[in-house]
Each structure stands twice: as C-alpha cells, then as structure tokens.
Structure 1
Amino acid sequence: MIPQLQVSTQPSSLEISSSKAKLSISQQRPDMEIESPRAKMDITSPRPDMEIDQHQAFRAYNGGTALEMNQQIYSELPSLMLEALAKRVEQGNRMAEFHLPGNSIGEIYGSDWKRDPFIEFRAPASYDNVDIHVNRNEPQINIEPITPRISAQAYTPQIEYHPGSLDIRVKQYASIEITPPQIDMTM
C-alpha cells in the first residue's frame, strides 16, 4: 500500500458589526423685527351740491314773470271767449222764445248778475312744483404708503456628526493540518 498524506483545512470566519453614522442639525430661529408705520392718508369729502328750483311754485303763487303771465292769459283766451259766446247764444235763444213764461228780457239779464270769470294767470298749484336736485361729490382719498422696516438676524446652524463604526474581527483563523502517514519502521 502506498502511504498517503492526510490534509485537513479549516476556513477562516469573520465577524462584522457596524453602526450607522448620526447627523444632528439644529438652528435657532432668526430674530425678526418688523416695524410698519401707518400710511399717510388725506381724505377730503366735499359737501354735496344742492339745487332748488322754485320757479313753478312762484308761478302758482303770483303768476311768475310778466311774460309768463301774458302767455298764460293768452293761452286761456280762446276757451274763455268760446264760453262767453256760448252763454250769449243761449241767452239769445231764450229771448227768441219770448212767448214762453220766464223768457222775458228782464228775467234773462236779471239773473245774469254774476261776473264772468277772469282768466287765471297763475300756473296750476301742485305738490311737485319745487324741484330739488342733489349732486353728491365723491370723496377724494390720497394714500401715501410707507414701506415697512424689517430687520432680521439669522443664526448659523449647529451641526454635530457622530461617525458610525465598522468592526471586523476574525472569529476563526484559517488552518491547514497535514498529517503524514505512519511509516512502519519494522520493515
């Protein structure tokens, strides 16, 4: 028999452990100071304009101007003439029937003692003879804005870094064991 060497090996084994790195950042809030002064405002509100027209009321009181009175009289003359003419025609027709009782000249003209109405020279009276017009004036607003004053103080951030770790250890070293064959010396 041929002698043989016996070789046995054992692999190495490693143990690895690690921890993560840590990073912490903190920063104080900035200090801000804002000063906002009031805007300059100028507001003027003009009084409203009011117009009162009483001309028609004065025409109803006293007839208005001489020209207006003459125009009023002139415009009513035709109707007044027609009324007077109709009255005279009626009286004439009654006188033509003198044979009837009560149609004598004395009775016809004796009952006519009322005066003929005079022409109305005044304008008709009404509740809306006075015209009032109000014109509202818009307010005038001038605003001068003033920019705010802002002051800020920022703080630098505080950064802390904690490095992680990596540990590598050999748990078992590799080994080779060679066992020689036993040699028989007796031979």
Structure 2
Amino acid sequence: MAAHTPLPPNLRWGLAAFSGSLFINNKTRDSGAAPTYPPAPAALASLPLQMMLYFNACYFPAWCLAEGLMLQLKYHLLPWHYQFLVVAAFLILSLAEGSRLYLGYVGNLQEKVPELAGFLLLSFLIQLPLLLFLLTDGHVLRLPLETAVHSLLLAFLLAEIAAAFLALRTMTRQLAAQFHLRQFEEHRGGWGRGNAAGSLQ
C-alpha cells in the first residue's frame, strides 16, 4: 500500500521536472549516436541511503534531547539576538527534520522522484546551513556535548545528500529510459497495425 505524500500535485510536478532537467541528458537525432537504454533493474531504491535514514531517525530524538538541554543551560548567557537565532534554528531544524526523513523514506522506498528531490532540497537548503551556523558561529557558546552531537548529525546529513543525489540520478535516468521505451513500443505497434491494415486493402 502506497504511503500518502504531503506534497501538493503542483509541487510534485515541479520537483519531478527539476530532477529531470538536472539529471537527464536529452539527445536529438542531430547530435550523433542515438542513446541506448539499458533494461531497468528490479528495484531502484538505494540501500545505503535507506540505512542512513534509519540510523538518522533513531539518532534524531537523542539529538533533540541533548540540544534542548544544552540550550537551556546556556540560554541566559547569550545576547538577546543570539537567543532568538539559536532558538529559531533549533525549532526549524527539529520541525524540518521530521518532514525531511519522511520524504526520504517515501522517495527512496517507493522510488518517487519528487519526494526524493524534496528530501534533497530540504537537506541542502535548510538543514545544512542551519547546522553549519550552530557548529561554526563562535557567539553561540558551543558546549562540548553540542559539538559532538552536531558533528554526528552533520556527518549523517552530508552522507545522505551524497547518497540521495546518486539515487535520484539513477531513478530519473531509469524512469526516462522506461518512458522512451514505452513510447517506442507504442509507435512500433501503431506502425505495425498500419502496415497490416494497408496489406488487407
């Protein structure tokens, strides 16, 4: 049974189009050799990505607990604008991480390109900058435990971005190959029926 996806249809179409334009190298007849399309494998889901998503989902509650405790300890020592920035970064990271992991699970296991593209964009555009801010800004008064838990989450994030990029490239190419093969078979079937009808006349 397919899992429900929270992405609206217009956003799913946009992410699918973005992935196709990024990873599919379209060739015309003028460009030389025609592209060859290998047969699609039985499954396109990435096992390394799924393993990292699983361990990340197990680790994330521990990260939330540790970061919440450290934030409570140092909150009164921060300047007022950094109090706002650190709390906002923690809340955005926590809220976006649940959506990001869900999109990663659905996109990888069900081989859905828009969800996997959404996972990749959330990882790269939201989670990565916020995590780097918490790790590199000297005014946030990093505690040793914070440095450790942020570093481990950053390692998960970078590995997932690389694995999701490779999985998305494989999925888009294979799905495009299947689409072109279906078009070719339909065209060949229509041509064969036309010849048969012509021979009967």
Report which structure shows greater RCO (CA 8 Å, sep ≥6): 1
TM-score norm. by structure 2 comes to 0.24
TM-score norm. by structure 1 comes to 0.25
Q: Which has the higher strand share?
A: 1
Q: Which has the higher helix share?
A: 2
